[in-house]
A and B are shown apart, each in its own frame.
Chain A
Amino acid sequence: MSAICLDISDLSAVLPNGQRVLRSVSLAVQPGEVRALVGESGAGKTMIGKAVLGVLPSSVRVVAGDIRLEGEDLGKLPPKARRTLIGARTALIPQDPLTALNPSRRIGSQMTDRLVRILGWNGQKADTRIRQLLDEVQIRDPERVLKSYPHELSGGMRQRVLIAAAFAAEPRLIVADEPTTALDVTVQKQILRLIVQLQREHGTAILFVTHDLGVVAKISQKVSVLYAGKVVEEADTAALFAAPQHPYTRALMAATPRYTDPFASLKPVDEAVLAGLASEIAAADQAWKRPHG
């Protein structure tokens, strides 16, 4: 099947006060591809992920555009069918592995439950599958982990569990929302490597949200640069790093510290660049207002 895995086109979402948080976002992820979504805090990266997964906050309303998951227009499906489709084809690797696990349920039951209840597997098959995935994320003592409560594991272990859970149901698309930000620096690299490894083996497409260009360079094939809910640049990762087109992208790159010399190139984004962005956003909003009243 050659359908685009995820196809977001012209997606706009507003807050109750009418302010747009997503400004005509278009973004496509091919099957098996890693698409990085990069931008500073508040740019709307998480919002895009939530829109795809169907869990936007109730205060945020999608007013235009559509999201297609393997060709199915999510907005046109009845709610129940949409939930089932999203549940079967997508998964989330969250930012905070502690709150993403239910504190009062054992890891094992949380992980198998989903396969049993959503995909209708029998308990035996689900259990085998979960153990296989725990092995893939290099958890050495699955017996103990399955019996543990989330607070009994370290942050890194919890994130491994969540990665295993995300891949267990063989989703076509995984949204990874800053999956390493809440972790120790030492653990971050391992987790990143695991995600890439499982992604390759399973051929899963990933929408990878981050604000770290270093991570973008390492793991993604394509990048979208987001600013104030607007995609300001989109390119192949290699091309973007070789020749960034948009001034904001260039400024972001300049602001990213190198590993060798973390403090040398830490610069704030240039005033002129920000002013340029502001007028670009204003023009986009003007253009959008005309047909949308």
Chain B
Amino acid sequence: MDEGRTPRRGISPRLWLAGGWLMLALLAAIFAPLVAPQDPLAQDLMLERLPPFWMNGAEPGYWLGTDSLGRDLLSRLIFGGRIAFIVAFAAAIAACMVGSTLGLVAGYFGGWADRIISRIVDVWMAFPPVLFAILLVAVLGTGLSSVILAIAIIDWTRFCRVIRAETMGQSRMDYVENARIAGYGRIGIMLREVLPNVVPSIVALLSLEMGIAVIVEAILSFVNLSISTDDPTWGGIIAEGRLSIHQAWWVLVFPLITLILTVLSFSQFGEALKTRFDPVLR
């Protein structure tokens, strides 16, 4: 009479690869002063535009080469990761808290709460996001906290929309009605019955949002609107690399690869986590 348990899949290669890269990049960023082979800010005109290690003229200790001021590219990428991850975590968590809460409330309570929240989301999403971000940073002033705030202010709607739709679907399920018959309060049902069923989506979105925050931060620092100009940022390095593309392509290519790998890993990691969190898919 029983269907057997569905066999649990092990950790997928996707989760391994994405998680592995993120872990590597994160650890490198955290322990940057210990890991980075050089001082990321030290300029040395004798060492300018050194190529990466496999090419002629490479110097040991400068694995990915140097930029036009003689600064070590690998060290700059590692230190740039610090800002990237701080922004990714802080902005994504802030956007997630605001967006998921509003989405849950709109989806579960419906009616006026839903109408008001949905209208705000519509208006919000009418702004082109990148322009919105640049505008916000211009208003809030440059600096780490205003970049984080800007990303959260723009992107909470992504959480709100998805979580609202999921919550609505869940709220129509019979188990919610059963809980009401049993006499549970509305807020209790929302938090104890419905929320656990939307957590997998929240986790996936959170990870995706971290990737998006990394891109937005890179864009902002690319247009020189991000953090102070001294600390290396991935966007800043890309901007410099663009200027010397013909003399030193590596200064552009390596930060781009780093950025893309990180963003892809975040989104893949989120998807993989979602399937692990979901009791039905797991």
Contact = CB atoms under 8 A, between A and B. Distances in A.
A62 interface: no
Contacts of B199: 104
Contacts of A53: 181
A279 interface: no
Interface of B: 1-3, 5-6, 173-175, 177-184, 193, 196-197, 199, 278-280
B183 A118 contact: yes
A105 B182 CA distance: 16
Interface in A220-258: none
30 contacts: A53-B181, A55-B177, A83-B180, A87-B181, A87-B182, A88-B183, A91-B181, A91-B182, A92-B178, A92-B181, A96-B174, A100-B174, A100-B178, A101-B175, A102-B196, A103-B175, A103-B197, A104-B196, A104-B197, A105-B193, A149-B279, A151-B280, A152-B6, A153-B2, A153-B3, A154-B3, A156-B1, A157-B1, A157-B2, A187-B1
A152 B5 contact: yes
Contacts of B2: 153-154, 157
Contacts of A103: 175, 197, 279-280
Contacts of B183: 83-84, 86-88, 118
A118 B174 contact: no
A187 B174 CA distance: 21
A99 interface: yes
A55 B180 contact: yes
Interface of A: 53-55, 83-84, 86-88, 90-92, 94, 96, 99-105, 114, 117-118, 148-149, 151-154, 156-157, 187
Contacts of B178: 92, 94, 100
A114 B5 CA distance: 26
A94 B181 CA distance: 12
Given A87-B182, A87-B183, A104-B196, A94 B1 contact: no
Nearest to B200: A104
B181 A102 contact: no
A233 to B, nearest CB: 29
Contacts of B182: 87, 91, 114, 118
B1 A102 contact: no
A154 B197 CA distance: 21
Given A99-B175, A157-B1, A157-B2, A151 B279 contact: yes
Nearest to A50: B177
A191 to B, nearest CB: 11
Contacts of B3: 152-154
Nearest to B175: A102
A112 to B, nearest CB: 12
B166 to A, nearest CB: 12
Nearest to A96: B174
A180 to B, nearest CB: 15
B200 to A, nearest CB: 8
B181 A54 contact: yes
B118 to A, nearest CB: 18
A144 B230 CA distance: 60
Contacts of A100: 174-175, 178
A149 B280 CA distance: 8
A53 B174 CA distance: 13
Contacts of A55: 177, 180-181
Given A102-B197, A103-B280, A153-B2, A117 B174 contact: no
Contacts of B1: 154, 156-157, 187
A118 B188 CA distance: 12
- The 3 residue pairs across chains A and B that have the minimum distance between CB atoms: A87-B183, A100-B174, A104-B196
B174 A94 contact: yes
Contacts of B177: 55, 92
Q: Which has the most chain A C-beta neighbours within 10 Å: B2, B178, B193, B279?
A: B178
B46 to A, nearest CB: 61
A38 to B, nearest CB: 22
Given A117-B184, A148-B5, 17 more contacts: A87-B181, A87-B182, A87-B183, A87-B184, A92-B181, A94-B178, A96-B174, A99-B174, A100-B178, A101-B175, A102-B193, A102-B197, A103-B175, A103-B280, A152-B5, A153-B2, A153-B3
A46 to B, nearest CB: 11
Contacts of A105: 193, 196
A106 to B, nearest CB: 9
Contacts of B179: 102
A118 B182 CA distance: 7
A187 B2 CA distance: 12
A251 B3 CA distance: 41
A285 B36 CA distance: 84
